[in-house]
Structure 1
């Protein structure tokens, strides 16, 4: 698993959607969610099976 901390999850989510990453690379992506541990994130599983958690702190 990889964890990428960013300033704006929504901006990253918009970029991933605009670039059609899921369709181009046949990867699984889940939409942004607020997590109980004070993070908002989305998950992307890349073609090699690595889970990427792209998140921002919300505290």
Structure 2
């Protein structure tokens, strides 16, 4: 697993959506959400299941 810090998670998520990353690379992407550990993030999982 890897975390990438960005200024705006929502803007980055929108960029991933606009680039059609899920279709191009057969990955899964969750919607951004606030985590209990005080981090807002989303998860991108590759075809082999790696986060």
Per the TM superposition, whether the score is higher than 0.5 is yes
Higher strand share: 1
1:49 is matched with 49
Q: Which has the higher contact order (CA 8 A, sep 6+)?
A: 1
2:24 is matched with 24
1:39 is matched with 39
- CA distance in 2 between counterparts of 1:32 and 1:11 reads 10
Secondary structure in 2 matching 1:2: coil
Structure 1 residue runs of 4 or more that deviate by more than 2 Å after TM superposition: 46-50
- CA distance in 1 between counterparts of 2:12 and 2:6 reads 8
- CA distance in 2 between counterparts of 1:25 and 1:41 reads 20
5+ residue gaps in structure 1?
52-59
